[in-house]
Amino acid sequence: MKSKVAERMMAKMPEDVKIFVDKYADIVVRINQLLKEKNYSQKELAEKLEKSPSEISKWLAGDHNFTLRSIAKLEAELGETILYVPKRIAFQTYSEKTISFTVLKNDHINTNVDFTPVTASCKSENELSNVI
Amino acid sequence: MNTFVVKKWFDEGERCSFYTVLVGENKYSETDRFFMKFEETDNQYNREAHELLRLITYSIGNVYGAIDAFFDRTKNKAQALPPKPKKGIPEIFQMGINFPLRLYCFRISESIVILFNGGIKDQPTDQESKDLSLKFYEAQQLVNRISEAIHDGTMIVDNDSRTLTDFQGNSQIIL
């Protein structure tokens, strides 16, 4: 069920409004989740970022126009990525066509490690975690 | 206060259903009346109204539900299920520090929210804003009546099916 008024407005909703609100909501939720996970109180975060507790309170309530600077400060303090930016990489093929791939830039993982074959005798969680 | 009907407003999301109220002899619900004020494309706040609608119907309604991150936390503290009569406080969706619109609502749970009316916030507080002061007062009265109805069993909350009904199972609840 949908109100007729809502239906009319949704039909005319500009695409950039959808993109803006969806990203805004994702950022607000992500920041709130990270603060909860890391047990940050508003006071502690305010002290770390040298902001007033009332300003941090507005951040946590989503009552804030995020800037790239404020997100960067939060990422630095929390040690976690809040925004991922897709990277576009072009490859030249044998047919001389150029193909582009969009790659999500995730956190760096060290792949320069020796792998140990998993055997039947390798059962404990510790052993498995060493392998993984 | 006039008799009013609590009825569904939007329930097409996967996480949260939205209800509204139809007051007295009004043809349109309070939430429809709020959005109709800004519906014309040449309205100064048309874009903001669209932003609010998207936040409600998609981010809250379909993706996250009515979680704390989208609500005023200081006002959330007064909430419990069922809310105690006279303690319910209308809440406000916020979209940034300078966001000019306020829409009052009552969060029953993460899966059911009742939307009321609202307006333009052009002063530091809602009570000082000409377009909001009366709406704020009306929303408080509506919350009190709805809270009492939940508390005394006149209104039944079913979070599993995300529905509100009266004690006879009717989906339109007259209070």
- Closest residue in B to A56 (Cα–Cα): B97
In this predicted structure, the answer to whether residue B80 has a pLDDT above a threshold of 50 is no
Domain ranges of chain A: 4-78, 87-131
Give B38 or B102, the one with higher predicted confidence.
B38
The total of other beta-carbon atoms located within 10 Å of residue B165's CB is 16
Average pLDDT over residues B112-116: 93
Q: Which of B72, B74, B97, B113 to mutate to test the interface with A (most CBs of A within 10 A)?
A: B97
Residue B11 pLDDT: 94
Q: How far apart are CA A95 and CA A6, in angstroms?
A: 51
The pLDDT tens digits for B117-164 are 988 888 877 778 888 888 888 888 898 899 999 999 999 999 999 999
* Beta strand spans in chain B (E): 4-10, 17-23, 91-92, 101-107, 112-120, 155-158, 163-166, 173-174
Residue B140 pLDDT: 86
**CATH homologous superfamily of A4-78:** lambda repressor-like DNA-binding domains (1.10.260.40)
Which bin fits A114, alpha (ψ -120 to 50), beta or left (φ > 0)? beta
Please check whether residue B15 is in contact with residue B61, taking contact to mean a CB–CB distance below 8 angstroms.
Answer: yes
B58 interfacial to chain A (CB closer than 8 Å): yes
Q: How far apart are CA B29 and CA B26, in angstroms?
A: 7
Contacts of A18 in chain B (CB under 8 A): 54, 58
pLDDT band at B87 (very low <50, low <70, confident <90, very high): very low
Residue B76 pLDDT: 37
Give which of B55, B80, B65, B81 is closest to B17, Cα–Cα: B65
Residue B58 pLDDT: 94
The pLDDT tens digits for B18-46 are 999 999 889 999 999 999 999 999 999 99
CA angle centred on A109, ends A108 and A111, rounded to 5°: 135
pLDDT band at B92 (very low <50, low <70, confident <90, very high): low
Interface size, chain A vs chain B, as Cβ–Cβ contacts under 8 Å: 96
Residue with tokens 């043809």: B27
In this predicted structure, the answer to whether residue B67 has a pLDDT above a threshold of 60 is yes
B63 interfacial to chain A (CB closer than 8 Å): yes
Residue A63 pLDDT: 55
Contacts of B98 in chain A (CB under 8 A): 65
Q: How far apart are CA A6 and CA B110, in angstroms?
A: 21
Element (H, E) at A27: helix A15-37
Please check whether residue B54 is in contact with residue A21, taking contact to mean a CB–CB distance below 8 angstroms.
Answer: yes
Query: Amino acid letter at B102?
Result: R
Comparing B58-62, B71-75, B103-107, B120-124, which segment has the lowest mean pLDDT? B71-75
Q: How far is A21 from chain B (nearest CA, A)?
A: 6
Residue B18 pLDDT: 96
Percent of chain B's residues with pLDDT above 70: 85
Q: How far apart are CA A62 and CA A60, in angstroms?
A: 5
pTM higher than the cut 0.90 = no
Q: Which of A4, A5, A66, A67 to mutate to test the interface with B (most CBs of B within 10 A)?
A: A5
Residues 6+ apart with CB under 8 A from B131: B119, B120, B121, B122
Give pLDDT tens digits along chain A (132 positions): 889 999 999 999 999 999 989 988 888 888 888 888 888 877 788 888 787 777 776 666 555 566 788 888 888 888 888 888 877 777 766 676 777 777 665 555 556 666 666 665 555 555 545 544
